[in-house]
Amino acid sequence: MAGEPYSYQDASGEIAAMAIGASLWGAYNQSGEFGQNVTKPGRIGCQYGYVNLAWQPTSRIFPLARAIGLRVRDYQNAILVNQAGVRFYDETKGQYTANNYGDVKPYTAGSYLNAANLKYSPANFLNAAMAGTGDASNGGGPIWAIFDSEAVKREEWTVTPPHVDTAAGYFFSGNTIAELAGAIVNKYQRKPMPASALQNTVTKYNSYVDEGRDPEFGKPGPKYKVETPPFYAAWATPVIHDSRAGLRINAECQVVDLNGMVIPGLYCGGESAGGFSLHGMARCIVQGRIAGSNAAREAKGA
Ligand SMILES: Cc1cc2nc3c(=O)[nH]c(=O)nc-3n(C[C@H](O)[C@H](O)[C@H](O)COP(=O)(O)OP(=O)(O)OC[C@H]3O[C@@H](n4cnc5c(N)ncnc54)[C@H](O)[C@@H]3O)c2cc1C
């Protein structure tokens, strides 16, 4: 989550509420792709890669954040692979952003026909990353950016700490692609990345550079081969910015159970509440005020 490691968002409040019967709401929203901050990490090679938060070594939080991360200027300089070592996407591509003002054009207030103007690619990033991870398990696992030493020069990256997190397993290197695959050990990588799969991916991609086209995902004119050691793998898993799934509440911000019945004395608002797809402070402040006023009134027995 984007606020971590300053403030952890582990759903402990929601889990406690569910233990006494609370219902969830808007659960699809949790993995919906709303905006670039969700679909691509702003920084790679570090665990907390939110685009607008580059933790600096001078920060008190830095011992928790551990690395600044590398900003990718041009995704021609890296390929992205899933935990099985397989590409799944045109790395240069954008994402589904129809939740922002001005993205739906033309927009007619109150019209259901606006939906016809949503720009949505079935090959969107998260769904593509979660498909075919190769181990028959549910869920997508980590995404790794793979690149070579020439890409490091082009991007002018420094690939040592504190820029990358080698100690906790968010950045790896190897003199061969097979060695790189074998080096990837991270607590979220459920199974080792098969060296042959990563080698196959890189060999195919390099042939696309020769061909000048990417027949698999349509990356426009793949420019650079991944061929000059050392090779690198940098954590490039999306950062979740907002939590739009959460507990089901009514207009009084009372939490309700699976039957729609109010759970007495339990209120919720903001990021913990589901079913209200609005980014940011406005929702938190409004729902917080409603929940707080009602809770205070109830406590007073009014
Ligand atoms: C990097 C970043 C930038 C943002 N920028 C903007 C912006 O520009 N404009 C905007 O409108 N919104 C922005 N937002 C969104 C906005 O900050 C959040 O929506 C808002 O702060 C959420 O408020 P909240 O009270 O619901 O949750 P939080 O602010 O997350 O508060 C939850 C609190 O509960 C505590 N907590 C968690 N678990 C427990 C537990 N088990 N027991 C006790 N306490 C617990 C946490 O420590 C935290 O203090 C941004 C968010 C991030 C992460």
Domains, the chain, ranges and CATH? 12-32+241-301 (no CATH), 40-94+123-239 (3.90.700.10)
Q: Which residues contact 39 (CB under 8 A, 6 or more apart)?
A: 33, 95, 96, 124, 125, 126, 238
| The predicted structure's pLDDT at residue 143 | 92
Q: What span, in angstroms and rounded, lies between the C-alpha atoms of 113 and 284?
A: 29
- Ligand 1 atom closest to the Cα of residue 3 is 53
Does ligand 1 have an atom closer than 6 angstroms to the CB of 50?
yes
Task: Give the residue with greater pLDDT, 83 vs 95.
Answer: 83
Please give the number of the atom of ligand 1 that sits closest to the Cα of 12.
Answer: 41
Which amino acid type is present at position 247? Answer: L
Give percent of the chain above pLDDT 90: 62
**42 CA → ligand 1 middle, Å:** 19
Across residues 178-206, what is the average pLDDT?
A: 96
| 12 Cβ below 6 A of ligand 1 | yes
Residue 13: CB within 6 Å of ligand 1? yes
Q: How far is the C-alpha of 212 from the C-alpha of 207, rounded, in Å?
A: 8
Cβ 222 under 6 angstroms from ligand 1: no
The dihedral built from the CA positions of residue 48, 158, 184 and 150, taken in this order, carries a sign that is positive
Q: Vertex 235, ends 122 and 193: CA angle to 5°?
A: 85
| pLDDT tens-digit map of 266-302 | 999 998 999 877 778 899 999 999 999 999 999 898 6
Q: What is the 3-state secondary structure (H, E, C) of 265-292?
A: EEECCHHHECCCCCCCHHHHHHHHHHHH
What digits encode the pLDDT tens for the residues 88-146? 888 988 765 556 677 778 888 888 888 787 765 545 677 667 665 655 555 678 999 99
What is the DSSP-derived secondary structure letter of residue 151?
A: H
Please, which pLDDT band fits residue 151 given cuts at 50, 70 and 90?
Answer: very high
* pLDDT value at 37 more than 70: no
Q: Tell me which of 23 and 115 has the higher pLDDT.
A: 23
Q: Is 4 in the pocket of ligand 1 (CB under 6 A)?
A: no
Helix (H, G, I), strand (E, B) or coil at 254: strand
| Whole-number pLDDT of residue 301 | 83
Task: Provide mean pLDDT across the span 217-239.
Answer: 95
User: What is the pLDDT, as a whole number, of residue 276?
Assistant: 77
205 CA from centroid of ligand 1 (Å) = 41
Higher pLDDT, 213 or 95: 213
How far lies 278's CA from each of 105, 127, 237, 246, 274, in Å?
19, 22, 23, 13, 10
